[in-house]
Amino acid sequence: MAFEDLLEDPVIQKYLHELVGPKGMPVAAAPPDGEVTDEELAEELGLELNDVRRALFILYENDLASYRRLRDEDSGWLTYLWTFHYDNVPEQLEHEMHRLLEGLEERREYEFEHEFYLCENCGIRFEFGEAMDFGFECPECGSQLDAMENTMLLEAMEERIEQLRDELNVEPDSEVQA
């Protein structure tokens, strides 16, 4: 098996799991050295060929695997030879860290600029305008809506934004040039 050191990282395991799902995980978790066919993988891992192919194509779409096709001269049958490219995993995750940072920055703006009201009964949150339209009564259960602090959320987002900027060397408010 190749890329053992990468696969030891629990975040990377989670990432692969997120991409290929539980059925594809045996394929994603055991990348072989060199080329391999889908049939070989299915046999080796004791999986349905379709599940193996599905996992391989997801990895392909995420730049984590590539294939070349060989045609059998006699039968005309196509064989797919797969190579895993997990050396791309760190770059992909770096890209995901940038996307997360972007999402957090946008969401923080929204949380900062709006006031929220909560129905404690249903656990549903409303923006001020919505709450006013409902006369500060929950449209589901009729209980009174109460002003809700989102300081905890803002602080948590703020802290993670700082950590991500620091790790990715993104200057504050550089969204425009980035």
Partner 1 sequence: MSTSSAEDDLSEDQRRGLELIRETGGIHQSDFWKELDVSSRKGSRIVESLVEEDLIDREDTVYNGHNTYYLTPKARDLDFSLLMAGDMLSPFIGDEEVNPQSDAFTQWIMNLAYEE
Residues in contact with partner 1 by the rule CB under 8 A: 3, 5-6, 9, 11-12, 14-15, 18-19, 90-91, 93-94, 96-97, 99-100, 102-104, 106-107, 110, 152-153, 155-157, 160, 163-164, 167-169
Min dist CB 36 to partner 1, Å, is: 20
Q: Residues 29, 21: contact at Cβ < 8 Å?
A: no
**Which of 70/168 has CB closer to partner 1?**
168
Min dist CB 54 to partner 1, Å, is: 14
Q: Residues 104, 164: contact at Cβ < 8 Å?
A: yes
Min dist CB 78 to partner 1, Å, is: 28
Q: How many CB atoms lie within 10 A of CB 72?
A: 9
Token readout for 112 is 């900062």
**Which of 9/43 has CB closer to partner 1?**
9
139, HSE (Cβ side, Cα atoms, 13 Å):
8
**Which of 13/66 has CB closer to partner 1?**
13
Amino acid at 51: D
Q: Give the contacts of 95 (CB within 8 A, at least 6 positions apart).
A: none
Min dist CB 103 to partner 1, Å, is: 5
**Which of 82/116 has CB closer to partner 1?**
116
**Which of 5/72 has CB closer to partner 1?**
5
Min dist CB 132 to partner 1, Å, is: 20
Integer angstrom CA distances of residue 178 from 37, 90, 91, 171, 175: 41, 20, 17, 9, 5
